[in-house]
Structure formats: C-alpha cells, structure tokens
Amino acid sequence: MMKKIILAGGCFWGVEAYYKRLAGIVNTVVGYTDGETENPSYEAVCHASGHAEAVYIEYAEEKISLDKVLEHFFRIIDPTQSNRQGNDIGVQYRSGIYVFDQTDYDQALSFIETLQANYSRPIQTKVKFAKPFYPAEDYHQDYLDKNPGGYCHVNMHVAKQSELKEEYRVKNSS
C-alpha cells in the first residue's frame, strides 16, 4: 500500500537526498508546509512566512514501515533542537512530522514517547496533521544530485547497506 508523510528536518536538501536512497521510498518532493501563506517562495520562507522546509515522501508500506521511516528520521536530526538543525537556524528549520491520518498520528506520538528515554533533553519535534504542502522551486528539487558538493547537515552514511536501494549500495570490487 502506498503511504505518504511530510518530514521537516532542517534544510530540505539533505533530508530529501537521504530518503530517496532508501528502499521502499517511491517519491520525494522538497517544499514548504505549516505556514501562514499560500504558495510561498523560498525568499518568503526565509523571511518569516512561518513555513518549515519539508520533504513530501511517498513510500511502499510493504517495503518500509512508518516506524522505519521515523527511525531513519531520528537518525539524521537532533530532535532536541528547536528551530534549527546543524548550522541552519530559524523557524523554517524546525523539525516536524506531518501525517495524513489518525493511525499515523498516534503511531508517531507513541514512537516519540518511546524515543524520549534516549535523550536527556525534551524532544522538540512536533507531530501534526498535514497542512497544505507547496513544492519548492525547481532548483531545490534533487539539489544535492545537481550540486554534489552542496552544503548538507545530514550524514548520508547512517543507513545500512541493506536499507538502501540497489543503485545506492556500495559495490564490492571483487
């Protein structure tokens, strides 16, 4: 079954690049959500539109579960930070999980509640029902593929080889 979720984890370039490598992820789109205006531009988001940079993700539930999607999310962010990730600071870099139904909402809250035991500071990541999602400008889509040396706060190497799509696995040289 095809499922969808929106994740905000700081700069959307790295979050998208990380997720598109995972087996079971069918589609990713970077954009903006959870703000005050319709169809914001990147400039507006950087100047207090209230939106978060986010990634809309479609995934095949039979290949990757919601818990696994969330586990990956918490591998690549610091959920105890408020309005920042890495060197990116501002409300647009807050972390959030945006779901489309009550079951996923309850599951995400339960996941965070369990995860809190691993942190000495409170988890700041919010779980909300999805708000309108506005795709970012074309130059932001697949940004790190187009600009391999581009800035990214996400460690692309925390996924296990077995969790990656075949084309992203390291090939043995034998």
Instruction: List residues with catalytic annotation.
Output: 11
Name the DSSP letter for residue 3.
Answer: E
